[in-house]
Structure 1
Amino acid sequence: MSTRQQRQAEIIANIAAAAYSKPVLSNGFLFEQDVRDNFYYASYLFAAAVDSQIAFDGDRQEAKAKAEQIMFQLLEIQDQHPESSTYGHWPLNLRPTPQEAAKNTLPVELMGSLMVYFAQRYEEHLSSPLKAALEQAITHIYHSNFYRKPLSNYGHHEAKYTAAKLILGQRFADEELLQDGIDSLRATYGRVTKHGMSEYGGLPWFWHWVQAFTCAWELIEEAAIKRELSQMLDYLWNVRATYYLGGAWVGPHSRIWPHDMPKDTNVLHDYVQFGDFKLPTEMPRTEYAGFLAYDAPEASLRTALHRITPIEIRRQIPRQIGTETHRDDVVHSYVYMTESFAMGGMWERIREFDNEQHRWDVAFPIGTFGDGVNHAYFFHPDQAQPEGDLRHQSEYTEVLFHRNVVMASYDIPEHAPSYIKGCLPLGEWVEEPNALFGLCGTVYMAVFIQQAFKREVLADRCFVTSQGYRNGVVVECIDKADADRLGIQSFSQFVNLMRTKQPSFGNEIAYESLYHHRLLLSSDPNQEISAVIDDEMIDFSSYTVA
Structure 2
Amino acid sequence: MNFVNRKSQVITLAAEKALKLSIIKENYWFLDDIRDNFYYGMHLYAATQDDNISISSDKQDAKKLAERMLFHSIKLQEQNKQSNHVGHWPLSLHPKPELAKPNTLPIEFFSSLLLHFYEDYKDTLSPDLKNLIKASLTAIYNSELRLRKPDEFSHHETKIFVMQLMYGQYFQNQEMINKGYDHINTVLEHVREYGLREYGSLPWLWHWIQSLDFARDYMKDESIKQTLTNLLDFMWKERTTFYMKGAWVGAHSRGLEHDIPSDENTLLDYIQFGDFPTPVSITRLEGAGFLSYQAPESIINIGVNRTVPVEVKKEIKLAFDEENNHYDSLHHYVYITSAYAIGGLWERTEEYLNEQHRWDISLPVGNQDSINQLYFFHPGEGNQEGDERHQSAQCEVLYHKNVVCALYQNLQASDHPYIIGYLPKGDWIAKDRAIYGETGDTYIAIHLQQPYNITEMEDRFVVKSDGDNNSVVVEVIDKQEASRLLIYDVNEFRKQVESRKSSNDDLSLIYKTIDNEKLELASTRDAEKIYRRINDQSIDFENYML
TM-score per shorter chain, which class?
A: over 0.9
CA distance in 2, matches of 1:120, 1:98: 28
Residue of structure 1 equivalent to 2:386? 388
1:87 deviates by 1.8
Secondary structure, aligned partner of 2:48: helix
- Matched with 1:83 is 82
Q: Which residue of 1 aligns with 2:475?
A: 476
Partner letter of residue 528 of structure 1?
K
Write the mapping of 1:184-195 to structure 2, written as runs, cut at 5 A: 184-195=183-194
Residue 447 of structure 2: SS of its match in structure 1? strand
Shift of 1:328: 7.9
Distance change in 2, residues 1:434/1:216 (3 Å): same
* SS of aligned partner of 1:201: coil
Structure 1 distance, partners of 2:401, 2:293, is 33
What SS does structure 2 have at the residue aligned with 1:414?
Answer: helix
Work out the CA distance in 2 between the residues paired with 1:328 and 1:503: 32
| 2:543 alignment partner AA | S
Aligned with 1:522: secondary structure?
strand
Q: Is the 8 A contact 2:411 2:418 kept in 1?
A: no
Q: Deviations over 1:418-459 (max 9, x none)?
A: 011110111111101200001111111000011111111111
2:203 matches 1:204: yes
TM-score, structure 1 length as denominator? 0.96
Q: Is the 8 A contact 1:344 1:361 kept in 2?
A: yes
The within-5 A match list for 1:91-110 is 91-110=90-109
Question: Cα 1:274–1:445, aligned 2, differ >3 Å: closer, same or farther?
Answer: same
Aligned to 2:529: 528
**Higher mean C-alpha displacement, 14-23 vs 172-181:** 14-23
1:275 and 2:259 correspond: no
Structure 2 Cα separation of the partners of residues 118 and 339 of structure 1: 38
**Alignment correspondent of 2:60:** 61
Alignment match of 1:400 (pick from 394, 398, 401): 398
Alpha-carbon distance in 2 for matches of 1:478, 1:18: 39
CA deviation map 1:105-138 (0-9, x unaligned): 0001001211001111001110111111000001
Aligned pairs for 1:225-304 (under 5 A) are 225-304=224-303
The 2-side partners of 1:458 and 1:328 are apart by: 39
1:455 to 2:454 alignment? yes
| Identity score, percent | 39
One-letter code of the match for 1:227?
A: Q
| Aligned-partner Cα distance in 2 for 1:65–1:170 | 30
In 1, the alpha carbon distance for the partners of 2:368 and 2:264 equals 13
Matches within 5 A, 1:300-319: 300-319=299-318
Change over 3 Å in CA distance of 1:502–1:384 after alignment to 2: farther
- Structure 1 residue 386, shift from structure 2 partner: 2.9
> For 2:478 and 2:99, how far apart are their aligned partners in 1?
56
* 1:4 corresponding residue in structure 2: 3
In 1, Cα distance between equivalents of 2:412 and 2:384: 20
- Could you report, residue by residue, the CA deviation over 1:119-168 in whole angstroms, capped at 9, with x for unpaired residues? 11001110111111000001000101224211112111011011111111
Letter in 1 for 2:529: E
Aligned Cα RMSD in Å?
A: 1.7
**Matched-pair contact (CA < 8 Å) for 1:95–1:101:** yes
Q: Which residue of 2 aligns with 1:43?
A: 42
For 1:321 and 1:242, the matched residues in 2 are separated by 25
Matches within 5 A, 1:146-161: 146-161=145-160
Is residue 321–residue 327 contact of structure 1 (8 Å, CA) maintained in 2? no
How far apart, in 1, do the equivalents of 2:164 and 2:466 lie?
53
Comparing 173-182 with 146-155, greater Cα deviation is found at 146-155
Give 3-state SS (helix, strand or coil) of 1:23's partner.
coil
CA–CA distance in 1 between the matches of 2:302 and 2:144?
40
Say which SS state the counterpart of residue 124 (structure 1) adopts: coil
Q: Following the alignment from structure 1 to structure 2, what is the Cα–Cα distance between the partners of residues 96 and 205?
A: 28
Residues 1:376 and 2:378 are matched in the alignment? no
| Contact 1:341–1:365 (CA under 8 A) maintained in structure 2 | yes
The whole-number CA distance in structure 2 between the counterparts of 1:372 and 1:430 is 18
Tell me the residue number matched to 2:508: 508
Q: Which amino acid aligns with 1:541?
A: E
Most deviating of 300-309 and 349-358: 300-309
In 1, the alpha carbon distance for the partners of 2:382 and 2:21 equals: 36
**Does the CA contact (< 8 Å) of 1:318 and 1:327 recur in 2?**
no
Equivalent residue for 2:543? 542
Question: Contact (CA 8 Å) 2:118, 2:133: kept in 1 or not?
Answer: yes
C-alpha contact 1:488 1:494 (8 A) present in aligned 2: yes
After superposition, the Cα gap between the structure-2 partners of 1:502 and 1:102, relative to the gap in structure 1 and judged at 3 Å, is farther
C-alpha displacement at 1:56, in angstroms?
1.1
- Distance in 1, matches of 2:183 and 2:369, equals 42
| Stretch deviating more after TM superposition (327-336 or 48-57) | 327-336
Helix, strand or coil for the counterpart of 2:361?
A: strand
Q: 1:487 maps to what in 2? A: 486
1:422-437 alignment to 2 at 5 Å? Answer: 422-437=421-436
2:511–2:518 contact (8 Å) kept in structure 1: yes
Gaps of 5+ in 2: none
Q: Take 2:315 and 2:222, find their aligned partners in 1: how far apart are those partners?
A: 34
What are the superposed Cα offsets for residues 252-276 of structure 1, whole Å, 9 maximum, x if unpaired?
Answer: 1100001001111100000000111
SS of the equivalent of 1:204 reads helix
Other structure's SS at 2:294 match: coil
Deviates more, 1:129-138 or 1:495-504: 495-504
Q: Please say if residues 448 and 503 of structure 1, whose CA atoms lie closer than 8 Å, have aligned partners that are also in contact.
A: no
Instruction: Report deviation, 1:477.
Output: 0.6
Equivalent in the alignment of 1:222: 221
Change (3 A) 1:327 1:398: closer
* Paired residue secondary structure (2:142): helix
Residue 321 of structure 1, CA deviation: 4.5
- Structure 1: tracts of 5 or more residues without a match: none
Q: How much has 1:413 moved relative to structure 2?
A: 4.3
Residues 454 and 298 of structure 1: CA distance in aligned 2, closer, same or farther (over 3 Å) = same
Which range is displaced more, 23-32 or 127-136?
23-32
Given residue 511 of structure 1, which amino acid in structure 2 is its aligned partner?
Y
The one-letter code matched in structure 2 to 1:143 is: N
Work out whether residues 354 and 381 of structure 2, in 8 Å CA contact, stay in contact via their aligned partners in 1: no
Letter in 1 for 2:369: D
Shift of 1:322: 8.2
Query: For residue 112 of structure 1, what is the aligned residue in structure 2?
Result: 111
Counterpart CA distance in 1 for 2:48 and 2:265 is 25
Amino acid at match of 1:534: N
| Equivalent position of 2:134 in the other structure | 135
2:79–2:135 contact (8 Å) kept in structure 1? no
**Farther off after superposition, 214-223 or 48-57:** 48-57
1:36-75 deviations in Å (ceiling 9; x for gaps) = 0000111011111222211212011111111111111111
Aligned AA (1:74): S
